[in-house]
């Protein structure tokens, strides 16, 4: 990547450059007639870790996280179809996403002793996959992802998706990049990096974001149900943002009522829904601690 302002001040720490300059292998597998792209960081002899992004995101959201864990895991970061560099489908559902998740695990050589780490929407799909293929997923860490308590109000926020906007050039697009759900992020160098790696050229000129504009209108069978969590039989852990609008302590208590096995959960201070963007170092430390708790 271009070091767009490395020499313009101390705003971008060295750990970030060291991470994003760690080049992974780029791979793809075919699942139900569509290519599923993923980035693979080999670390021979170590257990596998699969990283799954949230809605309208992609594998490169993990570029500054994955390399910091290679002392402990070999890592794959995938693009769910309809997002990132994976193919688009005519329609999307949880069963297909479950096949994609387990397909990437198989292709990367990960067995059930590995761990799936999944943020937001990716966490919902990982729960579906763990229920459909319990023999494939033995360990699951949810990141600001769960089920809302039935008495909690639904957050009042702008719906994601809509018709894709085409920008005349990359800089115009990057200036318009926003997190969804909306939140500030003090680490502007991280959001700028993500924005720069979230664009694709379009026919006729211009740039658009790397997600299918029809994804949300063709997405089915992805609703979170209490039964999904009541039947969950994995070694589970959870990380959430202390200031998240999408995950609350009440949601955590509700999940503890639903899920049969007790599980460790950690709150990351001064973090909102996008925990690892807000507090990347604290997130890594918490993830390591959680892996210790889960005997990974």
Alpha helices in the chain (DSSP H): 14-20, 94-108, 121-132, 170-176, 188-196, 215-218, 226-230, 249-258, 275-278, 280-293
Across the range 117-121, mean pLDDT stands at 97
Residue-level pLDDT at 10:
57
pLDDT at 164: 58
Question: Residue 292: pLDDT above 90?
Answer: yes
Q: Are strands 139-143 and 115-119 parallel, antiparallel or unpaired?
A: parallel
Residue 35 has a pLDDT of 98
* pLDDT band of 223, cuts 50, 70, 90: confident
Over residues 38-51, the pLDDT tens digits come to 999 999 999 999 99
- The predicted-structure confidence for 84-99, as pLDDT tens digits, reads as follows 999 999 999 999 999 9
pLDDT tens for 57-70 read 999 999 999 999 99
Burial of 266 (0-12, 13-18, 19+ CB in 10 A): middle
Mean pLDDT value across the chain? 92
- Paired tokens of 62: 């993990």
239 membership: H or E segment, kind and range: strand 235-241
pLDDT over 70 at 290, yes or no: yes
Q: Residue 172, preceding bond cis, omega within 30 degrees?
A: no
The domain spans of the chain are 13-148+224-293
% of the chain exceeding 70 in pLDDT: 93
Cα-trace Rg, the chain: 18
pLDDT of residue 163: 47
Q: What pLDDT does residue 158 have?
A: 47
What pLDDT does 5 receive?
Answer: 52
User: Where does the pLDDT of residue 155 fall: very low under 50, low under 70, confident under 90, or very high at 90 and above?
Assistant: low
Report pLDDT for 153. Answer: 74
Return d(Cα 101, Cα 96) in angstroms, integer. 9
| pTM value surpassing 0.75 | yes
Going by C-alpha positions, the residue among 103, 31, 19 that lies closest to residue 61 is 19
pLDDT for res 221: 86
- Burial status of residue 257 (CB atoms within 10 A of its CB: 0-12, 13-18, 19 or more): exposed
Confidence category of residue 279, pLDDT binned at 50, 70, 90: very high
Q: Say which residue the tokens 């990437």 belong to.
A: 104
pLDDT, tens digit, 9 for 90 and up, residues 160-206: 444 458 898 889 889 989 998 899 999 999 999 999 999 999 988 89
Nearest by Cα to 49 from 287, 289, 272: 287
Does residue 116 surpass a pLDDT of 70? yes
For 231-256, write each residue's pLDDT tens digit: 999 999 999 999 999 999 999 999 99
Is there a contact between 137 and 117 (Cβ–Cβ < 8 Å)?
A: no
Q: Would you identify the CATH topology of the domain 13-148+224-293?
A: Rossmann fold (3.40.50)
**At residue 147, does pLDDT exceed 50?**
yes
């Amino acid at each position: 990547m271009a070091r767009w302002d490395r020499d313009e001040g101390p705003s971008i720490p060295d750990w970030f450059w060291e991470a994003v300059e760690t080049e992974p292998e780029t791979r793809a597998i075919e699942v139900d007639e569509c290519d599923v792209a993923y980035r693979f960081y080999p670390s021979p002899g170590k257990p596998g870790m699969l990283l799954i992004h949230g809605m309208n995101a992609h594998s490169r959201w993990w570029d500054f996280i994955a390399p910091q864990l290679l002392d402990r895991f070999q890592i794959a970061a995938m693009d769910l179809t309809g997002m990132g560099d994976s193919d688009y489908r005519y329609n999307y559902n949880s069963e297909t996403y479950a096949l994609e998740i387990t397909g990437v695990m198989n292709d990367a050589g990960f067995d059930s002793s590995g761990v799936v780490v999944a943020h937001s929407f990716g966490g919902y799909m990982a729960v579906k996959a763990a229920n459909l293929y319990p023999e494939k997923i033995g360990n699951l860490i949810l990141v600001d992802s769960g089920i809302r308590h039935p008495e909690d109000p639904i957050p009042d926020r702008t719906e994601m998706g809509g018709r894709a906007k085409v920008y005349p050039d990359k800089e115009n697009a990057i200036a318009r990049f926003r997190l969804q759900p909306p939140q500030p992020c003090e680490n502007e160098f991280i959001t700028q990096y993500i924005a720069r790696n979230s664009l694709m050229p379009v026919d006729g000129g211009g740039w658009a974001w790397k997600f299918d504009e029809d994804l949300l209108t063709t997405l089915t069978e992805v609703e979170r149900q209490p039964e999904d969590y009541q039947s969950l039989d994995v070694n589970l852990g959870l990380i959430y943002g202390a200031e998240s609008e999408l995950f609350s302590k009440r949601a955590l208590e509700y999940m503890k009522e639903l899920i049969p096995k007790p599980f460790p959960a950690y709150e990351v201070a001064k973090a909102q829904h996008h925990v690892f963007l807000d507090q990347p170092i604290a997130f890594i430390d918490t993830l390591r601690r959680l892996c210790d708790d889960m005997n990974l």
